[in-house]
Chains A and B, each alone.
Chain A
Amino acid sequence: MNAAPPAADAFLERLPLIARDMLTVWFPEPARWLLNSLLAIAAIIISFATLFSLLTLAERKILGRVQNRPGPNRTGLPFLPFTAGRIFGLGQPFADGIKMLTKEDIVPRAADQFLHFLAPVALLALSILTFAVIPFGRHLVPVELDAGVLYFFAAGAATELAIFMAGWASRNKFALLAAMRALAQLISYELPLLLSIVPVIMLAQSLSPTAIVTAQGTLPHWYVCTPWGFAAFVIFFIAALAESNRSPFDLPEAESELIAGHLTEYSGFKYAIFFMAEYFGMCALSGMGVTLFLGGWQAPFSFLEFIPSYVWFGAKLLTLLLLFIWIRATFPRLRMDQLTRLAWKFLVPLALINLLTAAFWHHSHNWSTPLQLVRWAIAIFLVVSPFLWLGRALTQTFRPRTYRYA
Chain B
Amino acid sequence: MNTAPLILIALTTLATAAVAMAGRNLIHSALLLVASWAGIAAFYLWAAAEFVAFAQILIYVGGVSMVVLFAVLLTRNSRAELAISTDSFSRAIAALLAGGAVFGILVGAILRTPLTGSTRSPAAFNVRTLGLELMGTHAAALLIIGIILTVALLGAVVLAAPEPPEDAP
Contact = CB atoms under 8 A, between A and B. Distances in A.
B50 A157 contact: no
A160 interface: yes
A399 to B, nearest CB: 27
Contact of A161 (B34, B55, B58, B127): B34
A147 B62 contact: no
B contact patch SS: helix
Interface in B50-83: 50-51, 54-55, 57-58, 61-63, 65-66, 69-70, 73
A99 B69 CA distance: 35
Nearest to B34: A161
Contacts, number: 59
B91 interface: no
A403 B128 CA distance: 59
A151 interface: yes
Contacts of A207: 51, 127
A154 B54 contact: yes
A146 B66 contact: no
B127 A154 contact: no
B149 to A, nearest CB: 16
B21 interface: no
Contacts of B10: none
Contact of B61 (A145, A151, A158): A158
A contact patch SS: helix
A304 to B, nearest CB: 32
Interface string A132-156: 0000000000000111001101110
B27 interface: yes
Contacts of A51: none
Contacts of B61: 154, 157-158, 161
A160 B51 contact: no
Contact of B50 (A145, A158, A187, A206): A145
Interface residues of A, number: 24
Nearest to B62: A157
A147 B31 contact: no
Contacts of B34: 161
B62 A158 contact: yes
Given A165-B31, A168-B27, A147 B58 contact: no
A234 to B, nearest CB: 24
A155 B128 contact: no
Contacts of B57: 154-155, 157-158
B50 A161 contact: no
B58 A153 contact: yes
Contacts of A154: 54-55, 57-58, 61-62
A115 B70 CA distance: 17
B62 A146 contact: no
Contact of B62 (A160, A168, A176, A205): A160
Interface in A190-226: 190, 205-207
Given A145-B50, A157-B63, A150 B31 contact: no
Interface of B: 27, 31, 34, 50-51, 54-55, 57-58, 61-63, 65-66, 69-70, 73, 126-128
For the complex of A and B, 3 pairs with smallest distance between CB atoms: A157-B62, A154-B57, A154-B58
6 contacts: A150-B51, A150-B54, A150-B58, A157-B63, A164-B69, A206-B127
Interface of A: 115, 145-147, 150-151, 153-155, 157-158, 160-161, 164-165, 168, 176, 180, 183, 187, 190, 205-207
Given A157-B57, A183-B66, A205-B128, 9 more contacts: A154-B54, A154-B58, A154-B61, A157-B62, A161-B66, A164-B69, A183-B70, A206-B128, A207-B127
